[in-house]
């Protein structure tokens, strides 16, 4: 169409224009006789004609290009009309992810959302501290000196206990909320001072579970930190494993017997030598979670404090699955960089028993712990010993116990098998009080520890002299963290 217009409209028009131009030139008369002037006019006409030809070729090329584009558009319209264009969901996700990433990377967006600005504003060192896996949503100020992180953790469980009929005990089936925690944490005043508060509703009782501040000066790196408030006593390693990151649903009978639970205190800790060492030097009130029920007062009436000293050695470097302030992960969800191992020891002076202060009794607990991680396999073991020396007589009581347990992923990061054996002897001078635990379990992780199902079966025995007291237990538990 454009070619026809060019030949039948534009070409005659250009010819007429050329004639008009030639007509305006000075005519050649006999009386002028200037041959040079005529030659100059002829030269100008030839140059104008050549220029016109060049323009005509350019316009013809342009018209042909337009025709090709129109043809291509027609073909695309016909193709789209015949068959709908489908876009893969993965392509859409990738495009949205790309666009969102570009947007969130902008200073304006990060300032609006309170995500901590890059470049001008450095990210907060402890934005999710004390434990980022406890939090699901967080806020912080532009300068990074204040942050608030909120999270909720929940475990619901069904339990069947097959009691020993020889001791006239009836079987029990129960449904319970094993743990329910609301967590708050972040940093305040600076990037070196952190806080943590947890509220629990375990067994329908609402309590403050943990509340402490934590200072780690930047100049000291990770070699020095101070924690003060109400928190777990840093001695028994399994007790310091998070209840939401246990290999089996609960801790071993030996760990429960020797744990020092939580208390009011001060802990100086660190991991010097590039994470190959760990230490805790702590002092606690020693009156347990309910100090008012110990001696009828909320004061430390016997004027005895509890002292804790702990050290561990990591020959192959720090565990990726361990946070020095918030505890261990007993599974191996976090792949360790090669083989990792730990050996440690702790001592507790003026130790509690079942989270209560021992009145008029000197008590010391010591324990040794060993562990390793490698490619989905985990193994941990601890040995405990306690010496109780009542002040009013010469008869001391020695107790000891241990556990050993292992886990292995048969489907990486999804399906894990676990086994444990534990023993507790309340009094070494007696022969009819030894308790034993045999446990095995299966863990299925849907979103890591944030959403998982655990089931285990256990056999417990207690030596009573004449015959053993037996109990079988089956448990099924679902866990959700958000």
Last residue of a domain, one of 398, 430, 448: 398
Residues 6+ apart with CB under 8 A from 305: 283, 284, 285, 286, 350
Higher pLDDT, 287 or 203: 287
The structure tokens listed for 170 are 């009836």
- How far apart CA 162 and CA 470 sit, in angstroms, is 9
* Residue 254 belongs to domain with CATH number: 2.40.160.10
Is-contact 457 463, C-beta < 8 A? Answer: no
Residues 262 and 394 reside in one and the same domain: yes
Asked if residue 226 has pLDDT above 90, the reply is yes
- How far apart CA 345 and CA 332 sit, in angstroms, is 22
Strand, helix or coil at 338? coil
Confidence (pLDDT) at 115? 43
Residues 236 and 368 reside in one and the same domain: yes
Confidence (pLDDT) at 302? 73
Confidence (pLDDT) at 44? 81
Does residue 162 lie in a domain region?
no
Higher pLDDT, 127 or 33: 33
Higher pLDDT, 135 or 118: 135
Residues 357 and 277 reside in one and the same domain: yes
Residues 319 and 197 reside in one and the same domain: yes
The pLDDT tens digits for 46-75 are: 888 888 778 888 777 777 877 887 887 777
Last residue of a domain, one of 82, 107, 136: 82
Higher pLDDT, 324 or 20: 324
DSSP 243: T
Asked if residue 186 has pLDDT above 80, the reply is yes
Residues 143 and 257 reside in one and the same domain: yes
Task: Enter the pTM of the model.
Answer: 0.71
Confidence (pLDDT) at 52? 78
Confidence (pLDDT) at 102? 52
The pLDDT tens digits for 417-458 are: 999 999 999 998 888 889 999 999 999 999 989 999 999 999
Beta bridge partners of 175: 158
Confidence (pLDDT) at 282? 97
Phi, psi of 236 (to 5 degrees): -55, 120
Does residue 179 lie in a domain region?
yes
The model's confidence at residue 258, banded by pLDDT at 50, 70 and 90, is very high
User: Taking residues 317-344, what's their average pLDDT?
Assistant: 82
Higher pLDDT, 395 or 345: 345
Q: How far is CA 12 from CA 5, 52, 56, 340, in A?
A: 10, 12, 12, 91
Does residue 206 lie in a domain region?
yes
Does residue 95 lie in a domain region?
no
Residues 6+ apart with CB under 8 A from 416: 247, 331, 407, 408, 409, 410, 442, 443, 444, 445
Confidence (pLDDT) at 66? 76
Residues 135 and 53 reside in one and the same domain: no
User: Taking residues 134-146, what's their average pLDDT?
Assistant: 82
User: Mean pLDDT: which of 105-114, 186-195, 372-381 is highest?
Assistant: 372-381
Of the listed ranges 133-147, 225-239, 350-364, the one predicted with least confidence: 133-147
Asked if residue 285 has pLDDT above 80, the reply is yes
Does residue 371 lie in a domain region?
yes
Does residue 91 lie in a domain region?
no
Q: How far is CA 292 from CA 182, 298, 353, 392, in A?
A: 25, 4, 16, 24
The structure tokens listed for 91 are 């392509």
Residues 24 and 148 reside in one and the same domain: no
Residues 210 and 283 reside in one and the same domain: yes
Of the listed ranges 114-123, 350-359, 410-419, the one predicted with least confidence: 114-123
Residues 48 and 136 reside in one and the same domain: no
- How far apart CA 362 and CA 358 sit, in angstroms, is 8
Domain that holds residue 313: 128-156+172-398
- How far apart CA 109 and CA 102 sit, in angstroms, is 10
User: Taking residues 392-412, what's their average pLDDT?
Assistant: 91
* Number of domains the chain contains: 2
The structure tokens listed for 206 are 């609402």
Asked if residue 382 has pLDDT above 90, the reply is yes
Last residue of a domain, one of 355, 378, 398: 398
Residues 64 and 178 reside in one and the same domain: no
Does residue 45 lie in a domain region?
yes
Residues 143 and 48 reside in one and the same domain: no
Residues 245 and 185 reside in one and the same domain: yes
Instruction: Considering only CA atoms, give the Rg of the chain.
Output: 40
- How far apart CA 148 and CA 190 sit, in angstroms, is 13
Does residue 282 lie in a domain region?
yes
């Amino acid at each position: 169409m454009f070619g026809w217009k060019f030949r039948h409209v534009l070409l005659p028009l250009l010819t007429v224009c050329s004639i008009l131009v030639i007509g305006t030139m000075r005519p050649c008369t006999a009386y002028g006789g200037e041959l040079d002037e005529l030659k100059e006019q002829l030269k100008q006409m030839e140059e104008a004609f050549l220029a016109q030809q060049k323009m005509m070729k350019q316009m013809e090329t342009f018209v042909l290009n337009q025709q090709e584009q129109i043809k291509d558009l027609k073909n695309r319209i016909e193709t789209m009309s015949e068959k709908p264009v489908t876009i893969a969901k993965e392509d859409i996700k990738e495009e949205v992810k790309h666009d969102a990433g570009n947007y969130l990377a902008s200073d304006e967006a990060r300032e609006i959302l309170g995500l901590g600005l890059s470049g001008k504003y450095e990210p907060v060192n402890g934005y999710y501290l004390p434990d980022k896996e406890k939090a699901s949503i967080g806020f912080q100020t532009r300068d990074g000196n204040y942050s608030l992180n909120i999270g909720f953790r929940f475990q619901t469980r069904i339990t069947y206990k097959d009691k020993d009929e020889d001791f006239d005990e009836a079987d029990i089936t129960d449904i319970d909320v094993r743990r329910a925690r609301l967590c708050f944490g972040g940093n305040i005043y600076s990037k070196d001072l952190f806080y943590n508060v947890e509220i629990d509703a375990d067994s329908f009782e609402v309590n403050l579970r943990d509340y402490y501040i934590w200072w780690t000066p930047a100049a000291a790196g990770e070699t020095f930190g101070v924690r003060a408030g109400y928190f777990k006593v840093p001695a028994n390693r399994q007790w310091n494993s998070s209840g939401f990151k246990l290999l089996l649903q609960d801790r071993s009978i030996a760990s429960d017997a020797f744990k020092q639970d939580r208390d009011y205190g001060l802990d100086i800790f660190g991991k010097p030598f590039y994470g190959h060492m760990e230490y805790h030097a702590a002092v606690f009130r020693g009156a347990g979670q309910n100090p008012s029920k110990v001696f009828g007062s909320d004061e430390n009436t016997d004027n005895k404090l509890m002292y804790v000293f702990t050290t561990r050695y990591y020959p192959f470097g720090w565990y990726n699955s361990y946070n020095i302030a918030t505890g261990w992960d007993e599974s191996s969800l976090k792949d360790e960089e090669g083989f990792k191992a730990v050996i440690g020891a702790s001592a507790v002076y003026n130790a509690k028993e079942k989270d209560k202060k021992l009145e008029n009794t000197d008590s010391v607990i010591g324990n040794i712990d060993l562990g390793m991680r490698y490619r989905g396999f985990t193994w941990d073991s601890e040995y405990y010993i306690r010496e109780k020396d009542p002040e009013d007589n010469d008869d001391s009581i020695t107790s000891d116990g241990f556990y050993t347990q292992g886990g292995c992923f048969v489907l990486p990061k999804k399906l894990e098998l676990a086994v444990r054996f534990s023993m507790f002897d309340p009094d070494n001078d007696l022969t009819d009080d030894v308790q034993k635990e045999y446990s095995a379990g299966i863990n299925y992780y849907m979103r890591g520890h944030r959403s998982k199902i655990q089931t285990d079966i256990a056999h417990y025995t207690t030596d009573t002299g004449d015959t053993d007291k037996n109990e079988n237990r089956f448990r099924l538990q679902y866990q959700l963290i958000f």
